[in-house]
Amino acid sequence: METPACPLCALSRTPVAVAGLQWSSQHESDGSVTWICPTCTRAQLWRIESLLAVATAYAPAAATPLRPTPLRPAA
């Protein structure tokens, strides 16, 4: 199953968009393919480079780092 619109911003994936290489695909664990619009793709790449969790097709990701920061000892 493929999505007809970007799940993050609801932008429609038109036939013109399908012909171009602007949209990126995200392959979900259930085997479905989710298509992400160019703007949201750039945002996803920024999140990956910032070590933040990426947004999923079902809900926006929380703005938390993938690696927890070490706790500082009490002064």
CA 74 to each of CA 4, 28, 71: distance values in angstroms, whole numbers, following the listed order: 52, 42, 9
Residue 27 pLDDT:
81
Q: What tens digit of pLDDT does each residue of 22-35 get? A: 888 888 778 888 88
- The predicted model gives 7-26 an average pLDDT of 83
d(CA 48, CA 75): 34
Tell whether pTM > 0.85: no
- Contacting residues for 44 by C-beta, under 8 A, at least 6 apart: 24, 36, 54, 55
Domain regions of the chain by residue span: 1-61
Phi then psi for 36, rounded to 5 degrees?
-110, 130
